[in-house]
Amino acid sequence: MQKRFVTIWFRYLLADWLTIRRPELKMLPFVFSAPNHGRMLVTAANLPALAEGINMGMPVADARAIVPNLEVFDDKPGRAAKLLRGMGEWCIRYTPIIAIDMPDGLILDVSGCTHLWGGENAYLKEVVTRFRSKGYEVRAAMADTVGAAWAISRFGQVRPIIEPGGHTLALLPLPPAALRLEPLILQRLQKLGLTQIKSFIGMPRSVLRRRFGEELLLKLAQALGQADEVLTPIHIIAPYQERLPCLEPIRTAVGIEIAIKYLLEGLCKRLQSEGKGLRTAVLKCYRIDGKLVQANIGTNRATYNTSHLFKLFELKIAMIEPALGIELFVMEAPKVEDVDPVQEALWAGKPGLGALAVTELLDKLAGKVGVGAIHRYLPDEHYWPERSIKAATLQDKPTIAWRSDKPRPTQLLPRPEPIIVAYPSPDYPPILFVYKGKRYNIKKADGPERIECEWWLEGGQHRDYYNVEDEHGQRYWLFRLGHYASETSDQWFIHGFFA
């Protein structure tokens, strides 16, 4: 695929940002300033101020002497970077690979993207028009290399789109500053009368290296496409991702459903070809007002079943607010796993948690009530009841069997809670107990069942458990901690409830 890049230059980034928020400043000269070695220097200026002769780096005192009614605003550190990052995130709708070009630009890798907008001319016009409609004065250019696009956007005078393979000729008449060189190198070139790139591009590399250093050779090679230029994208692209730009903004639930089906089909087809299935998926909807709306789903096991995944997303459509319209849909699968081929037949089923219908049902329930509301537990090798179970996933296999020789309550409290009891004699079951201020009269009781303390984990006393039933037929699991002690009133606890 032919590599193509777009660079966007915000000529008056901070000034435009402030003018959008304070339109009354549009025709008034103003600057931003920041301290530098004890002096306040101009860091940014609007067009009226520049027209009066104010330049970047000029002391504010000198600028006020030129324009007495000059407005001066403090330039906060990092403001330009924050603005560019926000604009870069907004540009995700045009390409997934966007890098910040400090102090006033963006770099877009648009390889394979322009045809979605009807070609390169329509693509670049769309980007520039949208930024200018928001109030930013921009210049943009497209070329085979980042360096060539950057040079044309800042110094080009003829056309902003350089045809594939034509970047070398486009660079020749431009000044050396178009190569993003350091001021010291530019001064040396100026002294030697090398005022255009064509005046030194043909010189031997050894001569250029000796007079100007490696930086000139590197920048020139990057602009000509002879050396790679590594971009640092704003967002790391998900390995499994599908994008769907919309020619017209989508505002209806039907349109969102069609987009989800289209994205899932492409994503699942790729996953299936690689023997993988998704465990989590994220739908990102980029609205024309600049807002991002997301919907997430998760599955209990890896799958590429398009219809099942669509049913999970279908539960989320009502929460997606299109507002004025969605212009880009992005489907990502952040978590994928290998999928074993499953042979299904009408006469053969896979019972239990391994059944496909069970896992799909759990996925639907999780979409409605939340993943945190569904739990699975397996037996664990401990004596004390609160330690005898452990949380598990659907893929975990039990290492021991559930204990069934002794009755256990349906609901086990996370930790035993103290109760007040009355009993006819110390070694007999209680005849009543008081729990949370309510009295329970016991009619039947079984026990005791002694469970020793796990001394290798912590010190403590044994427990004598009783299964008791009150006058209303409700059953409880009570225990006495240790041997009977007449001087102790907090020996008895409730630990669970039977069905």
Q: What is the DSSP string of 302-345?
A: EE--HHHHHHHHHTTGGG---TT-EEEEEEEEEEEEE------B
CB 497 within 8 A of CB 475: yes
**Hey, CA dihedral for 93, 96, 101, 102, is it positive or negative?**
positive
The number of C-alpha atoms within 13 Å of 183 and in the hemisphere containing its C-beta is: 0
Domains parsed from the chain with CATH numbers: 1-234 (3.30.70.270), 241-345 (3.30.1490.100), 411-497 (no CATH)
Q: Is 300 exposed, middle or buried (0-12, 13-18, 19+ CB in 10 A)?
A: buried
Residue 149 is predicted with a pLDDT of 96
Residue 362 is predicted with a pLDDT of 76
pLDDT under 50: residue ranges of the chain: 343-348
pLDDT tens figures, 201-222: 999 999 999 999 999 999 999 9
CB 412 within 8 A of CB 385: yes
Residue 402 is predicted with a pLDDT of 80
Q: Which two tokens stand for residue 455?
A: 């001394």
pLDDT tens figures, 187-200: 999 999 999 999 99
Rounded-to-integer distance, Cα 255 and Cα 485, Å = 73
Residue 105 is predicted with a pLDDT of 95
**Nearest to 138, CA basis, from 128, 125, 148:** 128
Pairing relation of β-strands 432-435 and 420-422? Answer: antiparallel
Residue 447 is predicted with a pLDDT of 82
Residue 489 is predicted with a pLDDT of 53
Rounded-to-integer distance, Cα 74 and Cα 191, Å = 37
